[in-house]
Amino acid sequence: MEHDGGGHALAVLLDGTSHLTILNLFHGGIQSVNTIDGDHGGGGLALLVGLEQEELRLYSQSAVLMDGLSGRILYGKNAEQIRPMASTTKIMTCILALENGKTEEWVSASSYAASQPKVRMGVRKGEQYRLKDLLYGLMLESYNDAAVMIAEFIGGTREGFAAMMNEKARELGCKDTWFITPNGLDAQETDEKGEIHTHSTTAKDLARILLYCIQESPKKEEFLKITRTQNHGFYDLENKRQIQCRNHNALLDMMDGALTGKTGFTGGAGYSYVGALEKNGKLFIIALLGCGWPPHKTWKWSDARSLLSYGMENYEKTDLYERCQKTEPLPVKADGGICWGEQPQDHVLAREDLRSEEKHVYALVKKEEKQEKKVFLPKQLQAPVKEGQKIGRVCYYVEGELLREIPLYSDRQITKMTFWGTLEHIFGLWVHKC
């Protein structure tokens, strides 16, 4: 039994031919289903248990390959295991600074910023640097003192900035992520309820954060520009110190289509990495946590290549909207109401209201994976019904996972039919004829 969350209950039956049978229950349900069955090779059983995921030999203790078009997890190894994240933290620091600060503003170094451990710029208390330059230092060289300067400038205090980081994580659905430091140094704190928190995330959450940075944030282009720059030099306000930064994201040179990424290391976290690759219309995001300790600095690059190669070889870009049959307007009776006109009607038509650029549901899909569309509508509505009122939705799935929901709206107004309202309408028609 499946409940869709809107008062509609569905029964889903599976037969031996890998087709779904949908039964309407209670007062509403599915009006239509369009299923594209892949070649499961094992009959209907594969739909129940899911396709067995190919085992990849990864060094990472936790890893994720994410579809950057839909956010679906394509491959996971301990994907929801909470672990320290080291300097991969800095992708959140960077995007919040871009969204909340002006990059040409000057930022002063506090004594606390100047006290940060390596890797660092070596700032001295009172020195001033442009926010833009600090962001390059943050993402290219992973400077810990630059991260603190940015946090204190944007958040007012380090604690204030940590609160901003955690708020953004909640907004993105990253329920297993907890930020304490802006640079990713191992840390622990006790909240007001007495609960102990470690600076940590999951591979799944970390990939989700990078997806936001490069696909959803209003500052995504600025983020990509910074993280793809190979070299950047800058001076402090008084032109006394020159800083030269070099990009340490080896993936940019290692694989064609590499888009962005951030490395990390602490004693508690081990080596970590989060990155993205875009090629042939496909967008993949990877996240690696606990990928070895010294001297195994290169293991993360091996895992990155394995995951991204697996994605490129096995998944194709698919437009579920185009592949599934177009949703034609569907009639829904409006009980106790009528739409007056030359031909009075007691029903509405449920329709999409999409701009042309919205008529796509892109996802990376294996050819054997099951893709389907379900239309959820009530059997009847209760008058009155407004024109443009949301009355249902179309849902697109891959392997049973919801990827997108498109609302359906009423195409007309239905007024509540009353004795006096009907009499008034008839009288109006008579007057018009006269």
Nearest to 349 by CA among 324, 320, 385: 385
* Per-position pLDDT tens, the chain of length 434: 333 433 333 333 333 322 333 333 223 444 445 544 443 333 222 222 233 456 799 999 999 999 999 999 999 999 999 999 999 999 999 999 999 999 999 999 999 999 999 999 999 999 999 999 999 999 999 999 999 999 999 999 999 999 999 999 999 999 999 999 999 999 999 988 999 999 999 999 999 999 999 999 999 999 999 999 999 999 999 999 999 999 999 999 999 999 999 999 999 999 999 999 999 999 999 999 999 999 999 999 999 999 999 999 999 999 999 888 777 888 888 876 665 444 556 788 899 988 878 889 999 999 999 999 999 999 888 888 899 999 999 999 999 999 999 999 998 888 776 544 454 544 454 455 55
CA atoms within 13 A on the CB side of 119: 18
Can you give the pLDDT at residue 4?
Answer: 40
- Please state the φ and ψ torsions of residue 125, each to the nearest 5 degrees: -55, 130
Beta strand 330-335 pairing with 380-382: parallel
Q: Name the strand (E) or helix (H) holding 31.
A: strand 28-36
368 sits in the region (left: phi over 0; alpha: psi -120 to 50; else beta) called: alpha
- Evaluate whether 368 touches 399 at the Cβ level (below 8 Å): no
For residues 111-141, b (16+ Cβ closer than 10 Å) or e, as one string?
A: eebbebeebbbebeeebebbbbbbbbbbbbb
Q: To 5 degrees, how large is the angle CA 88–CA 91–CA 93?
A: 110
- C-alpha distances (whole Å) from 183 to each of 13, 63, 264 are 50, 21, 10
Distance CA 320, CA 334 (A): 31
What backbone phi and psi angles, to 5 degrees, belong to 173? 85, 15
Question: pTM for this structure?
Answer: 0.84
pLDDT at 53: 53
Find the angle CA(321)-CA(357)-CA(402) to the nearest 5 degrees: 40
What distance in Å separates the CA atoms of residue 22 and residue 32, rounded to the nearest whole number?
9
Fill in the amino acid letter for 190. Answer: T
Q: Enumerate domains of the chain plus CATH numbers.
A: 2-42+320-419 (2.60.410.10), 62-314 (3.40.710.10)
Q: Rg for the chain (alpha carbons), in Å? A: 27
